[in-house]
Amino acid sequence: MNPVAALPVALPWRHAVLAIVVMAIWGSNFVVMKTGLAHLPPLFFAALRFLFVVVPVIFFVRRPAVRWRDLAAYGVLIGVGQFGILFFALDGLISPGLASLVIQTQVVFTIGLSMALSGERLVPLQWLALALAAAGLVVIASHTDAKTSVTGLLLTLAAAASWACANFVARRAGRVDMLAYVVWSALFAVPPLFVLAFIAEGSEAMLRGVQEADTATWGALAWQSIGNSLFGYAAWGWLLARHPATLVSPMALLVPVFGLGSSALFLGEDLPAWKIAAALLVLGGLALNLAAPWLRRR
Protein backbone atom coordinates (compact mmCIF):
# COMPACT_ATOMS: atom_id res chain seq x y z
CA MET A 1 0.00 0.00 0.00
CA ASN A 2 1.18 3.49 -0.83
CA PRO A 3 1.93 5.12 2.60
CA VAL A 4 0.96 8.55 1.29
CA ALA A 5 -2.42 7.29 0.08
CA ALA A 6 -3.08 5.87 3.54
CA LEU A 7 -2.72 9.27 5.22
CA PRO A 8 -5.88 10.93 6.57
CA VAL A 9 -7.45 13.50 4.27
CA ALA A 10 -8.18 17.08 5.31
CA LEU A 11 -11.66 18.00 6.50
CA PRO A 12 -13.96 19.29 3.72
CA TRP A 13 -14.56 22.97 4.29
CA ARG A 14 -18.23 22.47 5.22
CA HIS A 15 -17.24 19.92 7.85
CA ALA A 16 -14.54 22.26 9.15
CA VAL A 17 -17.11 25.08 9.48
CA LEU A 18 -19.46 22.73 11.35
CA ALA A 19 -16.65 21.82 13.75
CA ILE A 20 -15.88 25.51 14.38
CA VAL A 21 -19.56 26.25 15.12
CA VAL A 22 -19.60 23.42 17.65
CA MET A 23 -16.43 24.78 19.25
CA ALA A 24 -18.03 28.22 19.52
CA ILE A 25 -21.01 26.70 21.34
CA TRP A 26 -18.79 24.69 23.67
CA GLY A 27 -16.47 27.63 24.32
CA SER A 28 -19.27 29.99 25.31
CA ASN A 29 -20.75 27.20 27.40
CA PHE A 30 -18.40 27.87 30.32
CA VAL A 31 -20.06 31.26 30.83
CA VAL A 32 -23.45 29.54 30.63
CA MET A 33 -22.39 26.91 33.17
CA LYS A 34 -21.46 29.62 35.65
CA THR A 35 -24.93 31.12 35.25
CA GLY A 36 -26.71 27.82 35.88
CA LEU A 37 -24.56 26.91 38.87
CA ALA A 38 -25.46 30.17 40.60
CA HIS A 39 -28.70 28.52 41.79
CA LEU A 40 -28.66 24.81 40.95
CA PRO A 41 -26.39 22.25 42.70
CA PRO A 42 -23.88 20.84 40.18
CA LEU A 43 -24.96 17.19 39.98
CA PHE A 44 -28.64 18.18 39.98
CA PHE A 45 -27.90 20.71 37.22
CA ALA A 46 -26.26 17.94 35.17
CA ALA A 47 -29.20 15.60 35.80
CA LEU A 48 -31.70 18.22 34.61
CA ARG A 49 -29.56 18.96 31.57
CA PHE A 50 -29.74 15.36 30.38
CA LEU A 51 -33.36 14.92 31.45
CA PHE A 52 -34.32 17.66 29.00
CA VAL A 53 -32.18 16.05 26.32
CA VAL A 54 -34.29 12.90 26.70
CA VAL A 55 -37.75 14.43 27.23
CA PRO A 56 -39.62 15.01 25.00
CA VAL A 57 -37.23 14.35 22.09
CA ILE A 58 -36.96 10.60 22.68
CA PHE A 59 -40.62 10.21 21.67
CA PHE A 60 -39.86 11.63 18.22
CA VAL A 61 -36.61 9.86 17.25
CA ARG A 62 -36.15 6.15 16.64
CA ARG A 63 -33.47 4.31 18.60
CA PRO A 64 -30.31 4.10 16.44
CA ALA A 65 -29.19 0.69 15.24
CA VAL A 66 -26.37 0.30 17.75
CA ARG A 67 -25.85 -1.97 20.73
CA TRP A 68 -27.55 -1.05 24.00
CA ARG A 69 -24.23 -1.35 25.81
CA ASP A 70 -22.66 1.27 23.53
CA LEU A 71 -25.56 3.66 24.17
CA ALA A 72 -25.22 3.04 27.90
CA ALA A 73 -21.44 3.52 27.82
CA TYR A 74 -21.67 6.78 25.90
CA GLY A 75 -24.44 8.12 28.14
CA VAL A 76 -22.59 7.37 31.36
CA LEU A 77 -19.24 8.62 30.04
CA ILE A 78 -20.66 11.94 28.81
CA GLY A 79 -23.36 12.45 31.43
CA VAL A 80 -21.70 11.29 34.64
CA GLY A 81 -18.04 11.09 33.62
CA GLN A 82 -17.71 14.38 31.77
CA PHE A 83 -20.43 16.79 32.84
CA GLY A 84 -21.27 15.41 36.26
CA ILE A 85 -17.61 15.63 37.27
CA LEU A 86 -17.02 18.93 35.45
CA PHE A 87 -20.03 20.66 37.04
CA PHE A 88 -18.91 19.40 40.44
CA ALA A 89 -15.40 20.82 39.82
CA LEU A 90 -16.77 24.15 38.59
CA ASP A 91 -18.76 24.58 41.78
CA GLY A 92 -15.92 26.35 43.58
CA LEU A 93 -13.05 23.91 42.95
CA ILE A 94 -11.76 25.33 39.65
CA SER A 95 -12.41 28.53 37.70
CA PRO A 96 -14.41 28.38 34.43
CA GLY A 97 -11.49 29.80 32.41
CA LEU A 98 -8.97 27.29 33.69
CA ALA A 99 -11.50 24.47 33.30
CA SER A 100 -11.94 25.38 29.62
CA LEU A 101 -8.18 24.86 29.21
CA VAL A 102 -7.72 21.69 31.24
CA ILE A 103 -10.70 19.95 29.62
CA GLN A 104 -8.87 20.19 26.28
CA THR A 105 -6.50 17.47 27.42
CA GLN A 106 -9.25 15.28 25.95
CA VAL A 107 -7.45 15.85 22.64
CA VAL A 108 -4.41 14.02 23.98
CA PHE A 109 -6.54 11.26 25.49
CA THR A 110 -8.58 10.86 22.27
CA ILE A 111 -5.53 10.70 20.02
CA GLY A 112 -3.79 8.31 22.39
CA LEU A 113 -6.78 5.96 22.40
CA SER A 114 -7.06 6.12 18.61
CA MET A 115 -3.37 5.37 18.12
CA ALA A 116 -3.44 2.52 20.64
CA LEU A 117 -6.72 0.88 19.60
CA SER A 118 -7.25 1.86 15.96
CA GLY A 119 -3.72 2.15 14.63
CA GLU A 120 -4.13 5.80 13.59
CA ARG A 121 -0.87 7.70 13.20
CA LEU A 122 0.07 11.36 13.05
CA VAL A 123 2.23 12.74 10.26
CA PRO A 124 5.19 14.87 11.44
CA LEU A 125 3.51 18.17 10.56
CA GLN A 126 0.55 17.23 12.74
CA TRP A 127 2.89 16.68 15.70
CA LEU A 128 4.19 20.21 15.10
CA ALA A 129 0.61 21.50 14.83
CA LEU A 130 -0.34 19.98 18.17
CA ALA A 131 2.85 21.39 19.71
CA LEU A 132 1.93 24.91 18.53
CA ALA A 133 -1.61 24.62 19.86
CA ALA A 134 -0.36 23.18 23.14
CA ALA A 135 2.07 26.10 23.44
CA GLY A 136 -0.88 28.46 23.14
CA LEU A 137 -2.66 26.66 25.97
CA VAL A 138 0.50 26.83 28.09
CA VAL A 139 0.69 30.60 27.53
CA ILE A 140 -2.92 30.98 28.66
CA ALA A 141 -2.45 28.75 31.69
CA SER A 142 0.76 30.48 32.74
CA HIS A 143 -0.94 33.90 32.83
CA THR A 144 -4.13 32.92 34.59
CA ASP A 145 -4.72 34.38 38.03
CA ALA A 146 -7.67 32.07 38.72
CA LYS A 147 -7.35 30.09 41.91
CA THR A 148 -7.88 26.38 41.74
CA SER A 149 -7.48 23.37 43.98
CA VAL A 150 -5.61 20.16 43.25
CA THR A 151 -8.93 18.35 43.61
CA GLY A 152 -10.56 20.60 41.01
CA LEU A 153 -7.67 20.09 38.60
CA LEU A 154 -7.78 16.30 38.99
CA LEU A 155 -11.55 16.23 38.58
CA THR A 156 -11.35 18.23 35.35
CA LEU A 157 -8.64 15.90 34.01
CA ALA A 158 -10.93 12.98 34.84
CA ALA A 159 -13.75 14.70 32.94
CA ALA A 160 -11.44 15.15 29.93
CA ALA A 161 -10.47 11.46 29.99
CA SER A 162 -14.14 10.47 30.14
CA TRP A 163 -14.91 12.71 27.13
CA ALA A 164 -12.10 11.04 25.18
CA CYS A 165 -13.45 7.56 25.99
CA ALA A 166 -16.91 8.70 24.87
CA ASN A 167 -15.42 9.91 21.58
CA PHE A 168 -14.04 6.44 20.95
CA VAL A 169 -17.35 4.77 21.80
CA ALA A 170 -19.17 7.14 19.42
CA ARG A 171 -16.83 6.25 16.58
CA ARG A 172 -17.78 2.58 16.90
CA ALA A 173 -21.37 3.49 16.01
CA GLY A 174 -20.36 4.41 12.47
CA ARG A 175 -22.69 6.48 10.33
CA VAL A 176 -25.88 6.54 12.38
CA ASP A 177 -28.36 9.27 13.23
CA MET A 178 -26.23 11.07 15.82
CA LEU A 179 -29.15 13.13 17.15
CA ALA A 180 -30.95 9.89 18.00
CA TYR A 181 -27.69 8.49 19.39
CA VAL A 182 -27.22 11.44 21.75
CA VAL A 183 -30.86 11.38 22.90
CA TRP A 184 -31.07 7.64 23.54
CA SER A 185 -27.66 7.53 25.23
CA ALA A 186 -28.73 10.38 27.54
CA LEU A 187 -31.39 8.00 28.85
CA PHE A 188 -28.57 6.21 30.69
CA ALA A 189 -27.10 9.42 32.12
CA VAL A 190 -30.22 10.65 33.92
CA PRO A 191 -30.79 7.96 36.60
CA PRO A 192 -27.20 7.82 37.96
CA LEU A 193 -26.97 11.63 37.99
CA PHE A 194 -30.20 11.98 39.98
CA VAL A 195 -29.06 9.27 42.40
CA LEU A 196 -25.67 10.93 42.88
CA ALA A 197 -27.33 14.34 43.30
CA PHE A 198 -29.69 12.96 45.94
CA ILE A 199 -26.81 11.31 47.83
CA ALA A 200 -24.21 14.08 47.55
CA GLU A 201 -26.39 17.22 47.55
CA GLY A 202 -29.64 16.18 49.19
CA SER A 203 -33.27 16.70 48.33
CA GLU A 204 -33.48 20.00 50.22
CA ALA A 205 -30.69 21.58 48.14
CA MET A 206 -32.28 20.27 44.95
CA LEU A 207 -35.69 21.71 45.87
CA ARG A 208 -34.17 25.02 46.97
CA GLY A 209 -32.30 25.25 43.67
CA VAL A 210 -35.54 24.90 41.70
CA GLN A 211 -37.29 27.48 43.90
CA GLU A 212 -34.46 30.01 43.56
CA ALA A 213 -33.86 29.47 39.83
CA ASP A 214 -34.59 32.54 37.70
CA THR A 215 -35.03 33.10 33.97
CA ALA A 216 -31.26 33.11 33.40
CA THR A 217 -30.95 29.75 35.18
CA TRP A 218 -33.60 28.10 33.01
CA GLY A 219 -32.09 29.73 29.92
CA ALA A 220 -28.71 28.23 30.86
CA LEU A 221 -30.34 24.84 31.28
CA ALA A 222 -32.01 25.13 27.86
CA TRP A 223 -28.68 26.11 26.27
CA GLN A 224 -27.03 23.10 27.91
CA SER A 225 -29.69 20.68 26.70
CA ILE A 226 -30.47 21.98 23.21
CA GLY A 227 -27.36 23.81 22.01
CA ASN A 228 -24.67 21.84 23.78
CA SER A 229 -26.04 18.30 23.77
CA LEU A 230 -28.66 17.94 21.04
CA PHE A 231 -26.74 19.95 18.46
CA GLY A 232 -23.15 20.03 19.68
CA TYR A 233 -22.59 16.39 20.55
CA ALA A 234 -24.67 15.10 17.66
CA ALA A 235 -22.54 17.14 15.24
CA TRP A 236 -19.29 16.14 16.99
CA GLY A 237 -20.17 12.44 16.84
CA TRP A 238 -21.20 12.83 13.20
CA LEU A 239 -17.76 14.25 12.38
CA LEU A 240 -15.90 11.55 14.34
CA ALA A 241 -17.82 8.87 12.45
CA ARG A 242 -16.59 10.22 9.11
CA HIS A 243 -13.02 11.36 9.78
CA PRO A 244 -9.98 10.13 11.76
CA ALA A 245 -9.96 11.28 15.38
CA THR A 246 -6.43 12.60 14.83
CA LEU A 247 -7.90 15.14 12.40
CA VAL A 248 -11.17 16.01 14.18
CA SER A 249 -10.29 16.07 17.89
CA PRO A 250 -7.64 18.85 17.68
CA MET A 251 -10.44 21.21 16.62
CA ALA A 252 -11.50 21.18 20.27
CA LEU A 253 -8.44 23.31 21.01
CA LEU A 254 -10.55 26.22 19.75
CA VAL A 255 -12.79 25.92 22.81
CA PRO A 256 -10.61 28.08 25.11
CA VAL A 257 -10.33 30.72 22.38
CA PHE A 258 -14.11 31.03 22.22
CA GLY A 259 -14.19 30.77 25.99
CA LEU A 260 -11.98 33.85 26.29
CA GLY A 261 -14.04 35.72 23.72
CA SER A 262 -17.35 34.97 25.42
CA SER A 263 -15.88 35.94 28.79
CA ALA A 264 -14.75 39.26 27.34
CA LEU A 265 -18.13 39.88 25.74
CA PHE A 266 -20.43 38.81 28.57
CA LEU A 267 -18.25 39.13 31.68
CA GLY A 268 -16.04 42.07 30.65
CA GLU A 269 -12.79 40.08 30.81
CA ASP A 270 -9.75 41.93 29.42
CA LEU A 271 -7.90 40.59 26.36
CA PRO A 272 -4.27 41.68 26.77
CA ALA A 273 -1.53 40.95 24.23
CA TRP A 274 -0.56 37.61 25.76
CA LYS A 275 -4.09 36.28 25.33
CA ILE A 276 -4.13 37.34 21.67
CA ALA A 277 -0.72 35.68 21.16
CA ALA A 278 -1.98 32.47 22.76
CA ALA A 279 -5.06 32.50 20.52
CA LEU A 280 -2.85 32.92 17.44
CA LEU A 281 -0.73 29.94 18.50
CA VAL A 282 -3.82 27.78 18.92
CA LEU A 283 -5.33 28.88 15.61
CA GLY A 284 -1.97 28.46 13.87
CA GLY A 285 -1.68 24.93 15.19
CA LEU A 286 -5.18 24.09 14.02
CA ALA A 287 -4.52 25.54 10.57
CA LEU A 288 -1.32 23.50 10.24
CA ASN A 289 -3.09 20.35 11.43
CA LEU A 290 -5.79 20.78 8.78
CA ALA A 291 -3.24 21.53 6.06
CA ALA A 292 -0.73 18.82 7.05
CA PRO A 293 -2.17 15.92 5.01
CA TRP A 294 -2.41 18.10 1.89
CA LEU A 295 1.14 19.40 2.40
CA ARG A 296 2.38 15.84 2.92
CA ARG A 297 0.83 14.65 -0.33
CA ARG A 298 2.36 17.62 -2.15
Cα–Cα distance measured from residue 20 to residue 254, given in angstroms and rounded to the nearest whole number: 8
Among candidate residues 268, 288, 271, 290, the one with its CA nearest the CA of residue 279: 271
pLDDT digits (tens, 9 = 90+) for 1-40: 444 444 445 788 889 899 999 999 988 888 899 889 989 9
pLDDT digits (tens, 9 = 90+) for 134-163: 887 787 777 766 556 778 878 988 999 998
Among left, alpha and beta (phi > 0; psi -120 to 50; other), residue 98 is alpha
Listed by start position, the domains of the chain span 13-297
190-242 pLDDT, tens digit per residue, is 999 999 999 999 999 999 999 999 999 999 999 989 888 888 878 888 888 88
How far is 123 from 53, CA to CA, in rounded Å?
38
* Mean pLDDT of the 253-277 span: 78
Tell me which of 290 and 8 has the higher pLDDT. Answer: 290
Please name which of 241, 235, 287 lies closest in space to residue 25, comparing C-alpha atoms: 235
Q: What average pLDDT does range 106-127 have in this prediction?
A: 75
What mean pLDDT is reported for the chain? 83
- Whether 283 has a pLDDT exceeding 90, the answer reads no
CB 137 within 8 A of CB 285: no
Residue 290's pLDDT is what? 64
